[in-house]
């Protein structure tokens, strides 16, 4: 049965799967060659390679769509050895399933074409038209330490998220596996790991095992009904620079949450609470001037909302993906089951002194 956005969803899922294969190869096979970036976050060869593969698939299928992506190829044009290392990975990464690989348009012609493709992610974003947002490796530090990271892709149409896909190679496949405090590290044993979350607006959210070929069968996911706040678990960033952890602890105490917070990188947090492995995700502002990037939240925002959750900023406003490349009008993120979101929001505002 063909539904609205069914082709976009299929291409997004397959593109994320193929890019996830590349990221796992980078982790297992190469020195994870980091180059520095202005914001001092490490960038790996996996970032560039995954972005090239995803944009190539999108341009093959939706040539007129715009793309907002994290990386640009300037660094690679100036560093032929890094370029060649990435090209070798891109050239030799494909889906096992011939038909699925064909849907993505197959491989990229050569290294120069790869650089040009990486640079196609330079859209300014905005409120008009179809724009894909890509985070080729969300949670670079988690990736480097063998913890949680995600390959994220979302379609915005006139500023609204319509399709989202998140590949989490190091999360347990089992939707019922509870979040453990150590999930942020040492999660690279492939046995039983690798999950692909996805959603289409108005059609619910699903999870499926992350495969190397055709798509596995998906299962509908939903947030856990939360009746007793003392049983709740909440996720936050590993990096103190990404979320104010002392304020998170105060909020948990006021809500009566007794479990320690689960700290993990990337939009794996959104997927985890969407399937009921966790309950609440808090990302509290660490500065008044910091602006979240749209590619860090678009897919996760949709997946949580389609799983029965609510996602707002600390002022109670929905995340606005139509402003540009950042969430310039939002401050922080609160994701929780709909039934308790207002309770969590009010405690967050009390602790932060937000009016």
Q: Which two tokens stand for residue 256?
A: 């009566």
Sheet of 150-157: strands edge to edge?
A: 66-69, 130-138, 150-157, 160-172, 193-200, 205-209, 219-221
User: Which residues touch 42 (CB under 8 Å, ≥6 apart)?
Assistant: 34, 35, 36, 140, 141, 144
Q: In 3-state terms, what secondary structure has residue 330?
A: coil
Calculate Rg over the CA atoms of the chain: 19
Which sequence positions are flagged as catalytic? 47, 140
Q: Are 135 and 19 in contact (CB under 8 A)?
A: no
Q: Are 126 and 159 in contact (CB under 8 A)?
A: yes
**Pairwise CA distance, residues 51 & 30, whole Å:** 18
Percent of the chain topping pLDDT 70:
92
Flag whether pLDDT at 38 surpasses 70.
Answer: no
Q: Is 135 known to sit in a ligand binding site?
A: yes
Looking at residue 262, its pLDDT comes to 86
pLDDT digits (tens, 9 = 90+) for 335-350: 999 999 999 999 999 9
Looking at residue 179, its pLDDT comes to 80
How long is the chain? 355
Q: Is 157 known to sit in a ligand binding site?
A: no
Q: What is the pTM of this model?
A: 0.94
The pLDDT-based confidence of 32 (bands split at 50, 70, 90) is: low
Flag whether pLDDT at 279 surpasses 70.
Answer: yes
Q: Are 236 and 245 in contact (CB under 8 A)?
A: yes
Average pLDDT over residues 12-18: 98
Of 11, 29, 30, the residue nearest 19 (C-alpha): 11
**Pairwise CA distance, residues 354 & 119, whole Å:** 39
**Pairwise CA distance, residues 334 & 283, whole Å:** 7
């Amino acid at each position: 049965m063909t539904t609205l956005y069914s082709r976009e969803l299929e291409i997004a899922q397959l593109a994320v799967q193929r890019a996830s294969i590349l990221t796992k190869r980078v982790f297992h096979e190469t020195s994870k060659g980091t180059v520095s970036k202005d914001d001092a976050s490490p960038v790996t060869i996996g970032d560039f390679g995954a972005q090239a593969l995803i944009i190539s698939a999108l341009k093959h299928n939706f040539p007129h769509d715009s793309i907002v992506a994290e990386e640009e190829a300037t660094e690679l044009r100036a560093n032929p050895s890094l370029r060649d290392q990435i090209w070798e990975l891109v050239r030799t990464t494909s889906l096992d399933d011939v038909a699925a690989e064909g849907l993505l348009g197959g491989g990229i012609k050569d290294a120069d074409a790869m650089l040009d493709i990486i640079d196609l992610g330079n859209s300014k974003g905005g409120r008009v038209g179809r724009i894909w947002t890509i985070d080729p490796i969300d949670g670079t530090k988690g990736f480097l330490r063998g913890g949680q990271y995600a390959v994220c892709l979302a379609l915005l149409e006139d500023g609204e998220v319509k399709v989202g896909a998140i590949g989490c190679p190091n999360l347990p496949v089992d939707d019922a596996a509870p979040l453990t405090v150590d999930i942020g590290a040492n999660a690279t044993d492939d046995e039983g790991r690798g999950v692909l979350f996805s959603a289409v607006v108005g059609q619910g959210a699903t999870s499926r095992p992350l495969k190397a070929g055709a798509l596995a069968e998906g299962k509908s996911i939903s947030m856990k009904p939360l009746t007793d706040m003392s049983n709740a678990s909440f996720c936050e960033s590993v990096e103190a620079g990404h979320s104010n952890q002392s304020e998170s602890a105060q909020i948990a105490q006021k809500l009566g949450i007794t479990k320690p917070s689960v700290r993990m990188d990337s939009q794996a947090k959104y997927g985890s609470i969407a399937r009921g492995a966790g309950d609440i995700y808090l990302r509290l502002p660490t500065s008044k001037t910091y602006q979240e990037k749209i590619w860090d939240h678009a897919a996760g925002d949709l997946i949580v909302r389609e799983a029965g959750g609510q996602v707002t900023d600390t002022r109670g406003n929905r995340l606005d993906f139509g402003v540009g490349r950042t969430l310039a009008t939002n401050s922080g993120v609160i994701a929780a089951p709909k039934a308790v979101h207002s309770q969590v929001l009010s405690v967050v505002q009390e602790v932060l002194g937000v009016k």
